[in-house]
Amino acid sequence: MITALQSAQSKRTAMPVPTARETVLELRGVSVDYGSLRVLQDVNLSVGSGELIALLGPSGSGKTTIIRSIAGFIQPSGGEIVLRGNDLAAVAINRRNIGMVFQSYALFPHLSVAENIAYPLRVQKKGRAQIRSRVDELVDLVQLSGHAHKRPSGLSGGQQQRVALARALAMDPELLLLDEPLSNLDANLRREVGEEIRRLQQRTGTTAIMVTHDRQEAFGMADRIAVLRGGRIEQLDTPDAIYRRPATSFMASFVGDANLLSGKVLAVDSNGSVVTTDAGPIRTNDIAAAGAEVTLLVRPEDIQLTPVDDKIGALVATVNETFYYGSSTVVQLTANGVSLQALVTGSLADRVHSGDQVALQMASADVVVVANDVDAAS
């Protein structure tokens, strides 16, 4: 229970407002209704200058509704959206100075790379020399200097994405919105293009919000991640804190593979707690109230497999199955009837076989007490 989490709560203090950055965007109690269905519920979010926030969550959690509300395509039912101190409620879409990159890129097929990038500048009736200079700058920035004359059909998916990004940056927007920018790319291109977008965003100092359903994209690209569930922000924090110190059991399993063990606090001292679980007693550095019912999180990569005789008092498990994935091997285990998962790398994987008895070693610092889950609809 949350009341049992004394040190665990203090260690995972959320970061709703960036203290070292000037605030560019604020969502203040934003709600959105579709008829009788509430799809966003009292969302509060502050985005700092030059920061990239990832909105991560399952389908229907409200990610795209947030950025469409910011862009002006959806009118919130309640709350305020404030950009650089200005309430956007009465500001037309084309006057918000917000750039947007869509899933489909939305490039004009009959225009060249240079003409696509120049389009928003022409709409704003910028001078010819200014347009040419800005287009040349952006073509160089996204490393498409040899492709400026080509039409989108002559470009790869990654190159088209770069054109869409350059076009969104053409007006030097106050805020850049990225709606699942990598979803149309092949798997082997996603990481490469994602890293490229992140480098460009940092180089230009652009403030950005990205929607994604892919946790690896969020971890690799964002300064902070807002995980949504049922129209609410479940947790907002840095990628490391989201992964290592999730606020709830839902968070623990949503952002990564997780061993979740229910137990009761047996003993407490200045170094942490000992929790009895069905798998056996486990020590954690988190301090919880003696006798409290708690849930422990152990990531698979934090479990070390050793010979049974190596460590007296360690949990003992039976290897059920192994699954080889190249750089790592997933080991499915059972300890006193409890199913667990470990992740091993290197030559150790060659020495683990179905039916083996192994000892499970885990550092107490890697065992985290998480709050019991609460239904998002409640």
CA proximity to 282, closest of 166, 372, 378, 363: 363
Q: Which residue has the tokens 């290592």?
A: 244
Predicted TM-score (pTM) of this structure? 0.88
| pLDDT value of position 153 | 93
Taking the mean position of all CA atoms in its chain, how far away is CA 295? 23
| pLDDT value of position 105 | 83
- 326: which 2 tokens? 């190249």
Tell me the C-alpha distance between 79 and 43, whole Å.
Answer: 8
* Fold of domain 23-249: Rossmann fold (3.40.50)
| pLDDT value of position 144 | 92
pLDDT by 10s per residue, the chain, length 378: 334 444 444 444 444 444 567 999 999 999 999 999 999 999 999 999 999 999 999 999 999 999 999 999 999 999 999 999 999 999 999 899 999 998 888 899 999 999 999 999 999 899 999 999 999 999 999 999 999 999 999 999 889 999 999 999 999 999 999 999 988 888 888 898 899 999 999 999 999 999 999 999 999 999 999 999 999 999 999 999 999 999 999 999 999 999 999 999 999 999 999 999 999 999 999 998 899 999 999 999 999 999 887 666 689 999 999 999 988 999 999 999 999 999 999 887 788 999 999 999 999 999 999 987 766 554
Q: Which strand (E) or helix (H) includes residue 227? A: strand 224-229
- Tens of pLDDT, residue by residue over 109-122, are 999 999 999 999 99
Tell me the C-alpha distance between 3 and 280, whole Å.
Answer: 24
- Tens of pLDDT, residue by residue over 74-109, are 999 999 999 999 999 999 998 999 999 988 888 999
Contact 178/221 with Cβ under 8 angstroms? no
Bridge-based pairing state of the strands 224-229 and 52-56: parallel
> Looking at domain 261-370, which CATH architecture does it have?
Beta Barrel (2.40)
| pLDDT value of position 376 | 54
- 72: which 2 tokens? 């002006």
What is the arrangement of strands in the sheet containing 315-324, beginning at the earlier edge strand? 304-306, 357-361, 315-324, 329-335, 338-344
CA distances from 68 to 75, 104, 105, 215 (A): 9, 15, 16, 21
CA distances from 316 to 42, 49, 282, 354, 361 (A): 46, 50, 12, 14, 9
| pLDDT value of position 175 | 97
The answer for residues whose C-beta is within 8 angstroms of residue 352's C-beta and 6 or more apart is 305, 319, 322, 329, 331, 344, 358
Domain borders along the chain are 23-249, 261-370
| pLDDT value of position 10 | 41
| pLDDT value of position 304 | 94
What is the residue type of 246? Answer: P
CA proximity to 319, closest of 310, 331, 328, 329: 331
